[in-house]
Homo-oligomer: A and B are copies of this chain.
Amino acid sequence: MNDTLQLLHDHRSDRAFTGEGVPDAQLDAIVEAAHRAPNFFNGQQISLVVVRDAERRQRISALTGGQAAIAKAPVFITVVIDFHKTALGVQLAGGSQVIHESVEGFAVGAVDAGIAVASLIVAARSLGLGAVPIGGIRKDPQALIDLLELPRLTFPIAGVALGPIAQQAPQKPRLPLSSFRHDEHYRAQGLQDDIRAYDRTLEDYWRALGRPEGKTWSQAALRYTKVYFPETRAATLRQGFTLDK
C-alpha cells in the first residue's frame, strides 16, 4: 500500500469548505494533473474553465438550483467537452470535422471529461484540500454556456468544487464489491441480493449519522424514473452534438 492507493481508497466527497482560498501554485498543480491525464487518441478534446470570482461562483451556484458548495468553495472548475479545438486542428489539416455529430464522439468526450474530473479531485485531495464533483451544472446548461462564453461544439458536462475544508466528510459505503467487479464475464445473478444488503447498510449509515430520514439506494434510485435534467439533451444538440451518426 502506498500513499496514492491510500488516498484513492479513502475517497470521500468533501463539501465542508471553509471559504479560504487556494494558493496559485496549488491550483496550477491541480490543473496540470488534468492537463497531463490520459485521453483517447491524443485528441485532447477537453478544456477547463477555472472560476474563482465570487460573483461568478454565486451565479453558477444559482443555476444549479442553489448548491451551496459552489458558492463557498474558492475554486470551481467546469470540465468542458471541446470539439471546437479539434475542429480547428482538422481545419488546419484541410478537413471538415464530423465526429462531434456522433455518439462515438460524445462518448469519447464524456469519458475524457471523467478522467479530468478524477485527476482534479485526486490532485486536490493529495494536497489536503476537499473536492466534490458537481453534476448540477447540467440543470441549466444554456445559462452556463452563456456565462462561460463557450463556443459551439463544446459542452460543459461536469464540474469540480474544491478548496480547504473544515473537516472530512464520512466515507459513504458502496454497493458490495460483487456487484461492481465481475471476473471474465458479467454475472447478473445475485445483484438484487447485493442491492438489498446495501439498502440495509445505508440505513445503518444514515442512522449512525443521526439522519434516519436518509434514503436507501433503491429509494434514491427513484430519481431515475424521470429525466431529472431534461435540458441536457436540448443543450447538447444546440451545441452541435447531433448524436445522429
Binding site for B on A (CB under 8 A): 1-5, 7-11, 13, 29, 31-38, 40-44, 46-53, 56, 80, 83-90, 92-93, 95-108, 110-119, 121-123, 126-127, 132-133, 135, 138, 147-151, 154, 157-158, 171-172, 174-175, 177, 179-186, 188, 191-192, 195-196, 199, 216-230, 232-233, 236, 243, 245
Contacts and interface: CB of A to CB of B under 8 A. Distances in A.
A184 B50 contact: yes
Contacts of A48: 180-182
A85 B191 contact: yes
A188 B243 contact: no
Given A84-B188, A90-B224, A115-B114, A182 B104 contact: no
Given A99-B224, A102-B233, 4 more contacts: A2-B3, A35-B174, A42-B220, A107-B110
8 contacts: A2-B127, A9-B33, A35-B180, A42-B217, A93-B216, A95-B225, A107-B110, A110-B111
A113 B108 CA distance: 11
A107 to B, nearest CB: 6
Contacts of A217: 42, 44, 89
Contact of A4 (B7, B80, B181, B196): B7
